[in-house]
Amino acid sequence: AGRIPTQEGLRMFVDGLLEVGDLNSDDRQKIDATLGADAPDMTGMFDRIGSALSGVTHGASLVLAPKHEAPIKHIEFVSLGHDRALVVLVFADGHVENRIFTPPPGQTPSSMREAANFLNALIEGKTLSDLQTVIAGQITARRQEIDQLARDMVDSGLAVWDGEGESYERLIVRGRSNLLDSETEEEDLERIRTLFDDLERKRDIADFLELTDEGEGVRIFIGSENKLFSLSGSSLVVSPYMNSDRKIIGAVGVIGPTRLNYGRIVPIVDYTAQLVGKMISDRS
């Protein structure tokens, strides 16, 4: 009595004895109330989803937003100063993404315009996935058509879309303070801080989605069972969500101590994932 169960003991319990009930009406109402009103954009919707999950579960939530896969309509570079520039990507469905980045030295309005014109001739009608594969090869083959300044700008623009910025925006973490209460042991606090540092530095967000790639449904990872949470002593309850073509495009999850009330958390995560999938399908 009073002992903290081992990771192996918890796994045996989850696999063999855990009884998962239906989502209770109070939890369902809280999630529905938070997500019920139409968000003006997808970013706002995913932010609310993360806040709802962390609020209902009293844990930290992770939401992996999907890549925007509509065809690209237009790209533009805007100078904000000698060491800051904005790259604007406009999609055919009206969605607009902006990223601030540090441009290569010596850029002029003319070189920025030349770089944008060069990219627009290649990318119109293509998706971001195309940009990182087929289009990158075409750009390499044809880069001699533009001068060195514009060439440097093209490389920088591609790096922004293929690099850290996208990863940071795709993974939304909310409610981390729920894991850092006054009763948490100092050693556990340090492990949890390490976990969030790892999440914030994560460049390959595919690692998180890979946790759910064995088909639909909720999965439970306890402690060191996955490399993302190996040092934190935390558990992750995660479920993928799908688009209208039944393709996994993102995931939602809850992080908490290994002694989580799994029987309650599992249906919450499952319901939220299904709700997100439906909302995305309805918008497409």
Task: Record the pTM.
Answer: 0.64
The domain tally of the chain equals 2
Cα-flanking dihedrals φ and ψ of residue 59, to 5°?
-120, -170
Rounded CA gap, 239 and 120, in Å?
Answer: 37
- Tens-of-pLDDT digits for all 284 residues of the chain? 445 556 555 555 555 555 566 788 888 888 888 766 555 567 778 888 899 999 999 888 888 888 777 888 999 999 998 888 888 888 888 888 888 888 888 888 999 999 899 889 888 788 877 776 666 677 778 878 888 888 888 887 777 765 544 444 577 888 877 877 645 566 667 777 777 666 665 544 455 556 555 556 778 776 655 555 555 567 788 888 888 888 888 889 888 877 778 888 888 998 899 888 888 887 76
Same domain? 121 vs 146: yes
Angle at which helices 109-123 and 134-142 cross, to 10°: 130
At residue 260, the 3 state secondary structure works out as: coil
Asked if residue 1 is part of any domain, the answer here is no
Same domain? 214 vs 247: yes
* Burial per residue of 154-181, b for 16 or more beta-carbon CB atoms within 10 angstroms, e otherwise: bebbbebbeeebbbeebbbbbbbebbee
Same domain? 185 vs 244: yes
Same domain? 154 vs 187: no
Asked if residue 31 is part of any domain, the answer here is yes
Contact 128, 68 (CB under 8 A): yes
Asked if residue 67 is part of any domain, the answer here is no
Sign of CA dihedral 156, 162, 167, 170: positive
> Tell me, what CATH number does 123's domain have?
3.30.390.60
Q: Which of 166, 183, 200 marks a domain boundary?
A: 166
pLDDT at position 31, please?
A: 86
CA angle 243, 95, 252 (to 5 degrees): 40
Tokens of 43: 């970013």
Q: Which residues pair with 61 in a beta bridge?
A: 174, 254
Asked if residue 66 is part of any domain, the answer here is no
Asked if residue 139 is part of any domain, the answer here is yes
Rounded CA gap, 170 and 121, in Å?
Answer: 27
pLDDT at position 76, please?
A: 92
Q: Which of 166, 198, 220 marks a domain boundary?
A: 166
Asked if residue 64 is part of any domain, the answer here is no
Q: Which domain holds residue 106?
A: 72-166
Same domain? 205 vs 128: no
Same domain? 204 vs 267: yes
Contact 234, 256 (CB under 8 A): yes
Interacting residues of 55 by C-beta distance below 8 A, sequence separation 6+: 30, 34, 175
DSSP 21-59: -PPPHHHHHHHHHHHHSPPSSHHHHHHHHHHHHHHHHSS
Same domain? 182 vs 266: yes
